[in-house]
Amino acid sequence: MSILIVGTVAFDAIETPFGKTDKIVGGAATYISLAASFFSDKLRLVSVVGDDFPQEAITMLEKHNVDTDGLQIKKGEKTFFWSGKYHNDMNSRDTIDTQLNVLETFDPVLPNNFKDSEYLMLGNLVPSVQQKVLDQMSSKPKLIVLDTMNFWMDNCMDDLKEALKNVDVLTINDEEARQLSEVYSLVKAAKIIQKMGPKYLVIKKGEHGALLFGEDKTFFAPALPLENVFDPTGAGDSFAGGFMGHIQKTGDVSFENLKSAVIYGSVMASFCVEKFGTERLTEITQEDVKERVNEFVSLSSFAL
User: Cα–Cα distance between 176 and 151 in angstroms, integer?
Assistant: 10
In the shown chain, the binding pattern of residues 2 to 21 toward ligand AMP, with x for contact by CB under 6 A and - for none, equals ------x-x-x---------
Half-sphere exposure for 18 (CA within 13 Å, toward CB): 13
Binder of ligand AMP out of 149, 153, 192, 299 (CB under 6 A): 149
Q: Smaller CB distance to ligand AMP: residue 26 or 242?
A: 26
- Report if residue 28 touches ligand AMP, rule: CB under 6 A: yes
d(CA 119, CA 142) in angstroms, rounded, equals 6
Q: Which is nearer to ligand AMP, 28 or 133 (CB)?
A: 28
Task: Single out the residue of 259, 233, 220 nearest to residue 27, CA to CA.
Answer: 233
- In one-letter notation, the amino acid at residue 195 is K
Shorter beta-carbon distance to ligand AMP: residue 10 or 110 = 10
- Binding of residue 233 to ligand AMP (CB under 6 A): yes
Residue 6: closest CA among 67, 35, 51, 47: 47
230 binds ligand AMP (CB under 6 A): no
Residue 82 binds to ligand AMP (criterion: CB under 6 A): yes
- Residues 92-111 as x/- pattern, contact with ligand AMP by CB under 6 A: ------x-------------
Say how many C-beta atoms besides its own lie within 10 A of residue 252's C-beta: 15
Containing H/E element for 24?
strand 24-26
Residues 31-50 touching ligand AMP, rule: CB under 6 A, are: none
CA 216 to CA 21: how far, in whole Å? 43
Q: Which residues bind ligand AMP (CB under 6 A)?
A: 8, 10, 12, 26-28, 82, 98, 124-125, 149, 151, 233-237
